[in-house]
Amino acid sequence: MSADYDCIIVGAGAGRTIVAALLAEAGKRVLLVERGREMSYARDGRRDHLRNQRLSSHGHNAGPDVDGNPRVFVAQDGTEHIVRPHEPGYHNNAAAVGSGTVVYGAQAWRFLPDDFRMASRYGVPQGSSLTDWPIGYADLAPFYEQAEQQIGAAGDSLGNRQQGPRGADYPMPPVAQHHSAATLQRGAAALGMNSFTPPLLINTIPHAGRAACIGCGSCVGFPCPSNAKNGTQNTMLPRALATGNCELLPNTMVTSIDTDASGKVTGVTLLADEDGTPQRRGVTADAVVVSGGAIESARLLLLSRSARHPDGLGNANGQVGRHLQGHYYPSIYGWFDQDVHDDDGPGVTIATTDFNHGNDGIIGGGMLADDFIMLPAIFRKTALPPDLPRWGQPAKDFMRDGYRRVLSIKGPVHEIPSPDARVSLDSRVTDRFGLPVARLSGTTHPETVQTARFMFERARDWMTASGATRVWGREPGLQLSAGQHQAGTCRMGDRPEASVTDQWGRVWGHDNLFVCDASLHPTNGGFNPVLTIMALAFRNGAHLASQL
């Protein structure tokens, strides 16, 4: 009997819509299943400053819902907490068609050549699972270019002196720099640092039939008013659907990957959720691609237990869910005696990659950049000096005088992973469908804290050299990270004993089961990860299209 589809793709986020488009354009019949809903600016563009993917004090705008989707977080002292999506310890990214890419900040970084060979360059600290990628920068470079060209990136092609060799220039010019960048540029020059405008997946000019950015003051966390922000939902998804070969099923959860008696993957079980009464059904396919994000992809493999695979699919060596990582994000704030604020969104305008590698006695490092425009509520919650009272005249004066005089420098640190930072299934807590939820435990390797503190000091130097008269921030401490940059839980590698997939994302021991999302990253670079996720999807999607 022939299968319902050539390929089923679980999750419609950053990676898999690309795979869907490549397969559908190659004539394959594709089913794309997403537990979240479709979003549009008209319906979902509401700027709720307290319920969004950037500040989720009381919920999110891009899912998942507050109720029915818990996780269990195990703190460093061993205490367990049931957490809802907007609460600390949940490590949410998003659940929607396009996932985080509908509302992201769209920073579009290529990793540097040395990011792919951390173990070779630095050695492996005891107890860590630092490793090289099974592929190098040169293998990914053509696909970084495809992502930049086809999703639509704007940047300064020559600005980043540390970058690996590139072919084509960015298809659009970088965002304009204003006086916050000029202020920080002075500091960079005083320190002899190379600084430049960071690349963004944003239309700085009209592009691909859509308008340019109108510079609104609330980019990150929200859908775009001019549809200038390039996510997968407005680029690759329309391409996939235009072929007529790709069917999109939103509001539908994949609850297991199904196998036959011989252990071969045959399809998935779906639970549709549209009108509140769950409907369960099975669909078959010649191949399944799991792309649920690093936490949910691991959870789904673990949930797909059977007599033949008692510990879940691809988990014969106990690797699924381990090496969970994200990014420490050391942040520095500085007070200037004059107005340094820019009103033009998105806000992030200047970066340096001088400290990603080659720091004495430090493993790796990270990129540093200024911040997106901070919404007033975010500024109040994160930017106040630690010794300032949170009430009364001093707090009000600080907001009034400081909002336009404070700048922030921050950046993602290349983490040193630990096998003990992991996603497992909780044995007690279930979601609204009765399925065991993800249980998050452990921390990164402590060596990450050294790198993060080093980067914190570099941010401080840069801020001070730029003329800030007062500088503050919170010292990084040991933590589990995952969150919006979650990665690493189904790492690819050369050996089944130490990884979950081969270099194409094919799960060891299963010819027709693939992972395609940030779960694959053996290490997560010192950069926001999405362009790397997209590049891997272009590479692995083309490979899969040639195999099916």
Partner 1 sequence: MTSQANLATPTLRAVIGRIIPADQDPGALDLGADNYVIARLLENEPLSQSIQHGLVQLDTAAHRRFGSAFNQLPPSEQDKLITLDQHTKWFAALAELTAEGFYADPANGGNRDALSWRMIGYEHRLPDGPNGPMPKADYER
Ligand X SMILES: Cc1cc2nc3c(=O)[nH]c(=O)nc-3n(C[C@H](O)[C@H](O)[C@H](O)COP(=O)(O)OP(=O)(O)OC[C@H]3O[C@@H](n4cnc5c(N)ncnc54)[C@H](O)[C@@H]3O)c2cc1C
The residues that touch ligand X, with contacts defined as CB under 6 A, are 10-15, 33-36, 53-54, 93-96, 99-101, 103-107, 220-221, 253-254, 291-293, 296, 300, 484-485, 517-518, 528-530, 533
Which residue from 527, 395, 504 is spatially nearest to 143, judged by alpha carbons?
Answer: 504
Given a contact cutoff of 8 angstroms between Cβ atoms, the answer to whether 37 and 63 are in contact is yes
Given a contact cutoff of 8 angstroms between Cβ atoms, the answer to whether 326 and 484 are in contact is yes
Distance of closest approach, residue 203 Cβ to ligand SF4, in angstroms: 7
Cβ proximity to ligand SF4, 238 vs 446, nearer residue = 238
Say which entry of ligand SF4, ligand X, partner 1, none residue 343 contacts (CB below 5 to 8 A, set by partner kind).
partner 1
Cβ proximity to ligand X, 166 vs 405, nearer residue = 166
The residues with which 506 forms a beta bridge, in sequence order, are 514
Q: Cα–Cα distance between 455 and 368 in angstroms, integer?
A: 8
Q: Which two tokens stand for residue 14?
A: 């950053």
Say which entry of ligand X, ligand SF4, partner 1, none residue 529 contacts (CB below 5 to 8 A, set by partner kind).
ligand X
176 binds partner 1 (CB under 8 A): no
Distance of closest approach, residue 300 Cβ to ligand X, in angstroms: 5
Q: Cα–Cα distance between 312 and 320 in angstroms, integer?
A: 8
215 binds partner 1 (CB under 8 A): yes
Q: Which of residues 203-232 bind ligand SF4 (CB under 6 A)?
A: 213-216, 219, 224-226, 228-229
Cβ proximity to ligand SF4, 83 vs 534, nearer residue = 534
What's 424-477 look like in SS3?
EEEEEEECCCCCEEEEEECCCCCHHHHHHHHHHHHHHHHHHHCCCCEEEECCCC
Say which entry of partner 1, ligand SF4, ligand X, none residue 279 contacts (CB below 5 to 8 A, set by partner kind).
none
Q: Which two tokens stand for residue 298?
A: 């691991």
206 binds partner 1 (CB under 8 A): no
Options 22-30, 37-45, 200-208, 536-544: segment touching partner 1 (CB under 8 A):
37-45
Say which entry of ligand SF4, ligand X, partner 1, none residue 229 contacts (CB below 5 to 8 A, set by partner kind).
ligand SF4
400: region left, alpha or beta (phi > 0 left; psi from -120 to 50 alpha): alpha
What's 266-284 look like in SS3?
EEEEEEECCCCCCEEEEEE
Given a contact cutoff of 8 angstroms between Cβ atoms, the answer to whether 32 and 90 are in contact is no
Map residues 484-523 to x or -, x wherever contact with ligand SF4 holds by CB under 6 A: ----------------------------------------
30-33 vs 246-249, strand pairing mode: parallel
Handedness of CA 212, 218, 224, 225 (dihedral sign): negative
Which residues sit at the interface with ligand SF4, rule CB under 6 A? 202, 213-216, 219, 224-226, 228-229, 345-346
For binding to partner 1 (CB under 8 A), which residues are involved?
41-43, 45-50, 57-58, 214-218, 222, 225, 341, 343, 345, 375-377, 379-381, 389-393, 395-396, 399-400, 403-404
